[in-house]
Chains A and B, each alone.
Chain A
Amino acid sequence: MHFRTALKLEFCRRSGRNPRYSLRAFARDIGSDHATLSQILRGRRSLSPRMVRHLGARLRLEPSIIADASAQQSAEAVLRLAQSPGFRVHSRWIATRTGLTVDAVNLAVHRLLHAGDLVMKSPTSWKTTRPHYA
């Protein structure tokens, strides 16, 4: 499950138990601010792996779920970059641009290849097969 969906479901769960539970309260409870959380939930703001780890810990998700969600966000960051002009097929360059480690970039590349979201068509060209999530 995408981490954004998990956030939405958790908010729905809490507001379902307490109709007066607001997004502002949810943001406060998970250590975020209302504006940022609102943008995240609406897909207007990307989730960094660091944010996923922070929010996941505040939501008390299983470490394995947080790790997987963080890896997924890394993959989204690589996919987003791969769709931008001037993209270079170079893990160190990708790492610098995304703020990820080279290992995290390579894991993300593997994840995208395995899912069929990325195709290494030539030594200098990678093709993405779906849009990235914000």
Chain B
Amino acid sequence: MPNPIVRWQIIAPEPARTAAFYRDVFGWELSAANSMGYRELRTGSESAAPVDGGVWPSPPGQPGFVQLFIEVADLDRCIAKANELGAKTLVPKSILPDGDSMAVLLDPTGISFGICRLAGKRPNPKGPGDVRGSV
């Protein structure tokens, strides 16, 4: 199975301001009407598989960064394989309120990334990103 990048996430010190900025500059649709209050940004792509994103708060005093989410068929296997190859698990496998599953890992060079398995067609991990590793 291919493992496409299906999502991006900005970890931001000022998430409301960050989200509004990208909405205003690019005309993206911003909505936080979901159970996590997650600021979703829909880019308006007409692709069959649009890569939408969102904004998640960073802890006080930590810088913002961008994180990519890769879709995998089996989170447990992917986590095991990544850890075998030197990654660390930052956020273990978590099942989000909308049914999507996700985890956040730190690669051997210190860059964090997410993996997810989407419950529905909508590419939306919508959940806690790593807020420790900084790209």
Binding site for B on A (CB under 8 A): 63-64, 67-68, 70-71, 89-92, 95, 102-103, 105-107, 109-111, 113-114, 116, 119-124
For chain B, the count of residues having a C-beta within 8 Å of the partner chain is 27
* B128 and A91 contacting across the interface, CB-CB below 8 Å: no
For A105, list chain B residues within 8 Å (CB): 37
Contact indicator per residue, chain B 51-73, by CB within 8 Å of chain A (1) or not (0) = 00000110111000000000000
For B95, list chain A residues within 8 Å (CB): 120-123
B44 at the interface (CB under 8 A from A): no
Binding site for A on B (CB under 8 A): 15-16, 32, 35-38, 56-57, 59-61, 90-92, 94-99, 127-132
For A95, list chain B residues within 8 Å (CB): 37
Bound-state Cα–Cα, A119 to B96, Å: 10
B97 shortest CB reach to chain A, Å: 5
By DSSP majority rule, is chain A's interface helix, strand, loop, or mixed? Answer: helix
A81 shortest CB reach to chain B, Å: 15
Closest to B15 in A: A103
23 A-B pairs in the complex with CB atoms less than 8 angstroms apart: A64-B60, A64-B61, A67-B59, A68-B59, A68-B60, A70-B60, A89-B35, A92-B37, A103-B15, A103-B37, A106-B38, A106-B128, A107-B57, A110-B128, A110-B131, A113-B91, A113-B94, A116-B92, A119-B92, A120-B94, A120-B95, A122-B95, A124-B97
Number of interchain pairs (Cβ within 8 Å)? 67
For A110, list chain B residues within 8 Å (CB): 56, 91, 128-129, 131
Bound-state Cα–Cα, A123 to B16, Å: 25
Which 6 pairs from chain A and chain B are nearest by CB?
A67-B60, A102-B37, A120-B94, A110-B128, A103-B57, A91-B37
For A67, list chain B residues within 8 Å (CB): 59-61
